[in-house]
């Protein structure tokens, strides 16, 4: 292999070694100090060994990589140049850390002789992410490519084993790149796997509930069904399906005849959407068992958990006693009754001639409410689709009202920030449509207007970049109405509250979509919403005006 610089030789070898261990996706942003890594990534892409995504904004790139890793379950490499480029990864790194999502950060840097002397674009990149990165190596400028294999092995194993973000801070001396000749053969060492920990055996016990927070997955549903107990599952839990699912669980947790009778709670994932769940888990009369997922912290409000385990299992018979059947049945039937009573249903048609057409027109013109919006998006989403929910009022509305349905739902609930939602959804869309070979559906991302505007840079697709089938559905109520439900809304002066909390905006979303080359639809009523949600092959921004 003929190369023009040690930086290029090392970069080609390092990426090849990561590919051999299972790396399939790379996201990069342009930069001078990282040019050898970028050109090596392009060369490996041309050989068909990786999928490469290029973005100009490191914050977008970080969340795009996070979305790819969510969908594929594999670590994704992110390549940046030095200085503020690295710092802009921090929001995505924090979310990945708190959600247990594997990322490999390849951050280019100056050699040690250029640090601490005021060199351009140079800062302390080692330790920049603090405890959010569990493994970091500050790598001296290469003198050959011999050390690439061991670094790749350590980095990949650390990302998978935690799982979470890791950092290789790579120093390069000039010349910063050279021509890439023939690529070396890749030795496939297999995908590194984390170590399975023993599962705790869970016995039957009266008045038990299973609680599935974000990322709980199907294990929570399976345990609830095996035990024969109610399942309380948040909308992004991956557990919101099955015969034991409880609808309208907030109301039942508040009811002394239901929530007041709970004696044991088994918690999966990371509950974030209600105040009722943490209130239940801090009660002194409730025994709490926590099943710790791949997140940095086990969910343990009040530090009351009787046990915290990596997994639990139930090998005994389902509780089929009269008391057990009554306990489960009362929760399930009461939850369904509440949802059915609150359901939005079109009026029944009148049998008189001429009235049917008028009533159909009335249904078409029905104003869109938040509940109608989330129910409509939920209703048109199926297992071959993907649904991403932003941190806004809409995810809470969906959690309160949508029925059980086994569909892929994601939300960035590690830190529940509004940043990066569209970029994450694009990563999920790209990977699901790559993996399914064209047979996948559409990715819908449902966000509030501030969440959309915060991540507007993610709408940019550069030349040569793949544009997935995706709809960004923006519930636009002109500002942060999520704050209207907080105590501050009734204590603060209205003019101050609006300026610093509600933060009104009047962005022309049609013009914004046109600027970034997206299709645009507006849905002012039920009929327009149904039409707008029809799948399209082009990236589409759907604006849904909502009242404050």
Q: Which residues contact 274 (CB under 8 A, 6 or more apart)?
A: 250, 253, 399
CB 191 within 8 A of CB 74: yes
Mean per-residue pLDDT, 183-202 = 78
DSSP string computed for 440-477: ---EEEEEEHHHHHHTGGGG---TT----SEEEEEEE-
Q: Is the pLDDT of residue 292 over 70?
A: yes
- Angstrom CA distances, 218 to 149, 242, 404, stand at 37, 10, 13
- Coil, strand or helix at 253: helix
CATH topology of domain 200-342: Rossmann fold (3.40.50)
- Look-up of token digits 């759907």: 542
Q: Is the pLDDT of residue 134 over 60?
A: yes
- Each residue's pLDDT tens digit, 302-352: 999 999 999 999 998 999 999 999 999 999 999 999 998 877 665 555 556
Mean per-residue pLDDT, 416-427 = 96
d(C-alpha 449, C-alpha 459), whole Å: 14
- Look-up of token digits 């004696």: 263
Token reading at 177: 């790149």
How far is it between the farthest Cα atoms of the chain?
88
- pLDDT score of 357: 67
CATH topology of domain 6-171: Rossmann fold (3.40.50)
List where CATH 3.40.50.970 sits in the chain: 6-171, 355-545
Q: Is the pLDDT of residue 362 over 80?
A: no
Q: CA torsion, points 528, 531, 533, 537, in degrees to nearest 10?
A: -130
Average model confidence (pLDDT) across the chain? 93
Q: How far is CA 435 from the centre of its chain?
A: 18
Q: How far is CA 492 from the centre of its chain?
A: 33
Token reading at 343: 């359901």
Token reading at 258: 């239901």
Q: How confident is the model at residue 411 (pLDDT cuts 50, 70, 90)?
A: very high
CB 61 within 8 A of CB 30: no
- Each residue's pLDDT tens digit, 198-214: 899 999 999 999 999 99
Q: What is the number of H-type helices and E-type strands within the chain?
A: 19, 19
d(C-alpha 102, C-alpha 237), whole Å: 19
- pLDDT score of 332: 98
Helix (H) or strand (E) holding 150: helix 148-161
Q: Is the pLDDT of residue 262 over 60?
A: yes
Q: Is the pLDDT of residue 353 over 90?
A: no
Residue 69: name the closest of 20, 34, 104 by CA: 104
List where CATH 3.40.50.1220 sits in the chain: 200-342
Token reading at 390: 């932003």
**Assigned superfamily of 355-545:** Thiamin diphosphate (ThDP)-binding fold, Pyr/PP domains (3.40.50.970)
Model confidence, pTM: 0.94
CB 33 within 8 A of CB 61: no
Mean per-residue pLDDT, 94-106 = 97
């Amino acid at each position: 292999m003929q190369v023009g610089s040690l930086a290029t030789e090392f970069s080609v070898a390092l990426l090849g070694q990561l590919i051999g261990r299972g790396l399939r996706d790379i996201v990069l942003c342009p930069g001078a100090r990282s040019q050898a890594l970028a050109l090596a990534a392009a060369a490996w892409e041309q050989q068909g060994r990786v999928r490469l995504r290029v973005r100009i904004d490191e914050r977008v790139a970080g969340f795009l990589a996070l979305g790819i890793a969510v969908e594929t379950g594999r670590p994704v490499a992110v390549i940046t140049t030095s200085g503020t480029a690295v710092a802009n990864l921090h929001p995505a790194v924090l979310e990945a850390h708190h959600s247990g999502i594997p990322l490999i950060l390849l951050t280019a840097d100056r050699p040690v002789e250029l640090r601490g002397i005021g060199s351009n674009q140079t800062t302390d990149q080692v330790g920049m992410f603090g405890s959010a990165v569990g493994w970091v190596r500050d790598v001296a400028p290469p003198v050959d490519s011999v050390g690439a294999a061991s670094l790749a092995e350590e980095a990949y194993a650390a990302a998978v084993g935690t799982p979470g973000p890791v950092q290789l801070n790579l120093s390069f001396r000039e010349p910063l790149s050279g021509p890439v000749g023939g690529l070396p053969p890749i030795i496939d060492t297999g995908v590194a796997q984390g170590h399975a920990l023993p599962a705790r055996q869970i016995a039957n016990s009266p008045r038990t509930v299973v609680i599935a927070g974000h990322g709980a997955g199907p294990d929570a549903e399976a345990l609830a069904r095996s035990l024969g107990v109610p399942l309380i599952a948040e909308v992004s839990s991956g557990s919101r399906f099955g015969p034991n699912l409880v609808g309208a669980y907030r109301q039942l947790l508040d009811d002394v005849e239901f929530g007041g009778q709970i004696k044991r709670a088994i918690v999966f994932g990371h509950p974030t959407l209600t105040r009722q769940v943490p209130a239940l888990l801090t009660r002194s009369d409730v025994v709490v068992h926590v099943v710790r997922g791949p997140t940095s912290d086990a969910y343990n409000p009040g530090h009351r958990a009787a046990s915290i385990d990596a997994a639990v299992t139930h090998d005994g018979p389902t509780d089929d006693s009269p008391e057990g059947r009554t306990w489960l049945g009362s929760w399930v039937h009461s939850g369904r009754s509440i949802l059915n009573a609150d359901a939005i249903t079109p009026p029944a048609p009148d049998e008189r001639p001429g009235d049917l057409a008028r009533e159909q027109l009335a249904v078409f013109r029905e104003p869109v409410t938040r509940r109608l919006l989330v129910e409509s998006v939920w209703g048109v989403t199926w297992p071959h689709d993907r649904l991403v929910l932003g941190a806004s009022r809409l995810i809470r509305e969906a959690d309160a009202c949508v029925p059980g349905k086994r569909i892929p739902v994601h939300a960035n609930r590690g830190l529940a920030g509004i940043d990066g939602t569209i970029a994450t959804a694009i990563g999920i869309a790209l990977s699901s449509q790559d993996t399914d070979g064209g047979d996948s559906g559409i990715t819908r991302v449902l966000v509030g207007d501030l969440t959309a505007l915060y991540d507007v840079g993610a709408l940019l697709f550069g030349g040569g970049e793949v544009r997935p089938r995706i709809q960004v559905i923006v519930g636009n109520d002109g500002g942060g109405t999520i704050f209207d439900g907080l105590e501050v809304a009734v204590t603060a002066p209205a003019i101050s509250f609006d300026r610093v909390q509600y933060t009104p905006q009047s962005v022309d979303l049609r013009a914004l979509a046109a600027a970034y080359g997206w299709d645009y639809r507006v849905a002012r009523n039920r009929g327009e919403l149904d039409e707008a949600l029809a799948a399209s092959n082009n990236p589409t921004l759907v604006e849904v005006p909502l009242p404050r």
